Structure 1
């Protein structure tokens, strides 16, 4: 079967125009249930707990959560946004809408992921840290960790590496995993170890989460939902079992939502963190996101050095001198090699969705 051609610029324009028309139809329908101004209370502060199309659940300072309409002028609204909201003095009959989001405060940070149509899509805001959860099962791999680290460095959100399921460590897998984690400590990344099954290490994580807005990221099956349930039993999140046959887990979270830890701090649980594709980054940016590379970038003999077999490559020299770890450099090369492949696949998926 012959491969499909990438979308042309004309096709992309028509696809975006159709999306815009659908959005305008939704907005027009929304206008019919907007709350009249004289039925609204004065402005107050709130935070987006979750977003549903043209509606958002807003938590105000008294802890009350109200489903609100969103003004047309608010062009971007995601979980974690700090907003200005006006609540209704009474909810209209047959409606569950109790207020209107009037404006959004500037964001301190934005968690993004590549989007099929829009390039990069914001999925959550005002995040302080991303906990990159790995585990002994599925098999521990630094490739996944490094991809998340690149995404964290690109967004400017502090990463924390967490190894879950340490109750499954044994004499066979412990040395390799410990060595890999130590390499991350050596370049400045905080590393925590715990078991959501036995509870070992969870108190340290609770202290880490206090007074901060956090996101948990990691591949399926590493125990993110189990860990969240251990830290926040009232969340009652679904837990996906690891397949005995494949060793892979199933995705369980479906809607981004802001949750509160009883011990302090907030969690944004979002399905968007599953999709940390990096095709929107160029090779130079990826290299910069490997923090130990930064002292050597721009010092190669040739300005167009690809950091492969190029003569006079500063990264290769640093690798030989032990200033860069071999597995980190190998993971960097894998990411660079995958960029064009991911962009190519993106075009084919777009065609399938027309």
Structure 2
């Protein structure tokens, strides 16, 4: 549909009403528009909630068919001329520019269609590494992303009240921690595990720098995760320990590499595949905290098959769209006991006759893992 036809026929100016309900989950900025049934368009809301500062209200143009308009068949939102677009995958995002590899091989520097940014009001960035897109080539190696295909395998977190998609369309998330320098943080591992459980990603725990400690000291932690069904590898990028097992886990899969700053994510990838030649940096001697070497998530293919997305190191990982009621289901050791609590709305914190608390007291649930659950439940 031409821009000329769209003017005056499909734009409605609406006032926004304040709404304090729960945030809708919006992992796919174009899914609801691409999958919409035209026959049901008049039944949908005529407005969308937009965050505003203070008490100020905002108006917004909602593109759609006015009430009472005749049925036109095809949706008029996000119309894309397939003949003018190419399929591609986002390799990385730098500011307003996305580096997209087309299925034919060439790489393009793409801007993003403005309407996509308007739709994704709850997202920090519209496009993420790993996204499958349709883009329109322009002059030289430039283009415009016209559509983002529905996502699967999304790793995301909360950032300043908005969804921050770290990577999309992956099979598994490799949670990299370090035995020392910086110190091991099991509670951060648990946060990644909750996100993986909630979003249907296969987790793999990888503890790097085991050459700096006595590996026997790590066995209690490894034992807890192994009993829960989480595969856990002890590796050393500098000594080469455990790299063959990690390499086999990555072969022919799409993997997100995530973890705290300074744990050696890029060093591990370089050790597995030296052709990657990713930048690395030492840990600060003053505070033993990692430095941000990888500043943007980037998708890189592996020589033996498959690809990895090296994500920037983080120091905090806030859960996105995981409600307190859903949290217990993201801890596999809590699931068998939840239904045996006396109260159906039991929070497993302070109530009497709580089967979860009884299991903790009896040693059937690891105390440290239960404490992680309590911290997350209280929003810490």
Question: What range is the shorter-chain TM-score in?
Answer: 0.7 to 0.9
Q: Which aligned pairs between 1:26-65 and structure 2 lie closer than 5 A? A: 42-65=84-107
| Structure 1 gaps, min length 5 | 1-8, 22-36, 92-96, 343-354
Stretches of 4+ moved more than 4 A in 1? 15-21, 272-275
- Alignment of 1:121 onto 2:171: no
Contact 1:140–1:177 (8 Å) recurs in 2:
no
| Structure 2 gaps, min length 5 | 1-19, 21-49, 61-79, 118-125
- Alignment of 1:135 onto 2:174: no
Question: In the alignment, which of 144, 153, 158 is matched to residue 100 of structure 1?
Answer: 144
- Structure-2 separation of matches of 1:279 and 1:50: 22
Q: Which digits, 9 at most, give the CA deviation of each residue in 1:237-265, with x for residues without a partner?
A: 33232233433222222122211111211
Deviation at 1:181, TM superposition (A): 0.4
Normalising by structure 1, we get a TM-score of 0.76
- Structure-2 separation of matches of 1:299 and 1:60: 53
Secondary structure (helix, strand or coil) at the match of 1:252 reads coil
- Structure-2 separation of matches of 1:66 and 1:274: 32
- Structure-1 separation of matches of 2:154 and 2:168: 4
- Structure-1 separation of matches of 2:158 and 2:312: 13
- Structure-2 separation of matches of 1:310 and 1:292: 19
CA separation of 1:70/1:309 partners in 2, compared to 1, >3 Å: closer, same or farther? closer
1:198 aligned partner:
239
- Structure-2 separation of matches of 1:101 and 1:16: 34
Return the structure number with greater helix share. 1
- Structure-2 separation of matches of 1:20 and 1:122: 27
- Structure-2 separation of matches of 1:58 and 1:194: 33
1:158 aligned partner:
202
CA separation of 1:20/1:224 partners in 2, compared to 1, >3 Å: closer, same or farther? farther
CA separation of 1:17/1:253 partners in 2, compared to 1, >3 Å: closer, same or farther? farther
1:175 aligned partner:
216
- Structure-2 separation of matches of 1:20 and 1:202: 55
Contact 2:266–2:310 (8 Å) recurs in 1:
no
2:256 aligned partner:
215
Deviation at 1:42, TM superposition (A): 4.5
Deviation at 1:290, TM superposition (A): 0.8
- Structure-2 separation of matches of 1:19 and 1:66: 36
2:294 aligned partner:
253
Q: After alignment, is 75-84 or 254-263 more displaced?
A: 75-84
Contact 1:151–1:276 (8 Å) recurs in 2:
no
- Structure-2 separation of matches of 1:316 and 1:224: 36
Q: Which digits, 9 at most, give the CA deviation of each residue in 1:193-222, with x for residues without a partner?
A: 211001121122111112222111222222
- Larger RCO of the pair (alpha carbons < 8 Å, separation 6+): 1
CA RMSD of aligned residues (A): 3.2
